[in-house]
Chains A and B, each alone.
Chain A
């Protein structure tokens, strides 16, 4: 009991330490390869890193062994203990100059060519199929964490430990907004939003954060489609018919419309899977044309 009164505040961990707002990147002078560091500061206890973090690192490393072309390369994971309460985990990634957000912003006024959109969608879905087949749900797909190399190669980033907790609601599917349970279809919805955005080159309006706006595009789902385990009743919403998708995304071709609608299906169980989306007729047309643009 003697030491009771001595419990005052003590420095626990340095919060503002380090040079934030900057990123370290490097060029390997022998290979010419670019790498960048991303550090994640993890709270620890006397057992060291939380087991969830260890699992995530293990998962990232396992995925890395497949060397998938549409997933950002993770070259190394380095842990340093900063204090008893904090460990800094530094992830060494390949460095890619821009993400899809910048890419779309920098696109010529005429917009991206149909072939280019098709090619990028194909790559995006390839990466997604890879993640899903490894039981990884990205949960936060958006242009900011899809990297585009100077050769037009798409690389998914920011899953697992690398994830930055996001407040972006634009790409969130209805089941997430309704706080229903969700799984891999969430990523397909987000991909659908991104698909539409590639044509429009701005935030897809049918994916705006408010749920009613989302309904104004896809229409109010039927009673049967409405999830049973959510607090929000279907009756809360004014019944609206779906808007023709071409009104929202004018330049899309008919196959593209079909695919987009399948990706933006309200019911996650009815929504097309990534692997089936990749098999969609949209990608079958002009297969050769897409190949040559690579």
Chain B
């Protein structure tokens, strides 16, 4: 217990809640609060979001989802942008840039974004591909991932998979998308943590070993 820096009371609390992974004694373990039930969390968030949306809708008597007014205190009116300061015009944000939403033509498929999340996720969590891919074209992306610390482990195989997968129709979004997801992704935390407990190799080095 000496290599875990927690006050004794915090430890007791964790033990009491049976969330402390007592059986796993390793030097690397960031999973301080037990594993997360992602499905449950997701459901709770969804519920909470719906609750908030309903409150918004009620407060403004406006259905934000379908963009249409409802009956209530506010008397809604749809006016042309020309009749109102340009500032109120809708906009689309992608990355750090925003453009007015009015001209649809402006950025056609600017949404390089996300071919399809579920499928991608599936691929990400799929078991490692047996065919090792030695030509790793996507070094740049990988480096980024490695530096981000976490999830490197799981991610690498998926990168390979993806590349081999998409040889038929590779598009640039493959790379963009992945990078984006990877940097922010927290979901894999838990799993990568468990993985790392299996081998004593520090996280950062694992992928390097893989490249060979």
Contact = CB atoms under 8 A, between A and B. Distances in A.
A28 B73 contact: yes
A76 B60 contact: yes
A85 B78 contact: no
A53 B93 CA distance: 9
Interface string B66-89: 010100011111111100111111
Contacts, number: 203
Nearest to A90: B64
Contacts of B161: 1
Nearest to A4: B165
A25 interface: yes
A293 B99 CA distance: 38
Contacts of A19: 67, 78
A88 B64 contact: yes
A86 B92 CA distance: 10
A47 interface: yes
A92 B131 CA distance: 53
Interface string A40-74: 11110111001111000000000000000000100
B101 A25 contact: no
Contacts of B209: none
B115 A24 contact: no
A96 B86 CA distance: 11
A7 B77 contact: no
Interface residues of B, number: 66
Most buried by B among A19, A20, A24, A76: A24
Interface residues of A, number: 69
A190 interface: no
Contacts of B117: 45-46, 84-85
Interface of B: 49, 52-53, 56, 59-60, 62, 64-65, 67, 69, 73-81, 84-102, 104, 108-109, 111, 113-119, 121, 123, 129, 131, 161, 164-166, 168-169, 180-181, 184-187
Identify the 10 closest CB pairs spanning chains A and B, nearest first.
A26-B74, A99-B85, A78-B56, A16-B104, A4-B165, A26-B76, A165-B98, A23-B88, A41-B92, A157-B87
29 contacts: A7-B165, A7-B166, A7-B168, A13-B111, A18-B90, A22-B78, A24-B67, A25-B84, A26-B60, A26-B75, A26-B76, A27-B75, A27-B77, A28-B74, A28-B75, A41-B93, A42-B93, A45-B181, A52-B96, A53-B93, A76-B56, A85-B113, A95-B84, A98-B85, A102-B85, A145-B85, A164-B87, A164-B100, A165-B97
Given A25-B79, A165-B98, 6 more contacts: A15-B109, A40-B90, A47-B184, A47-B185, A144-B87, A145-B86
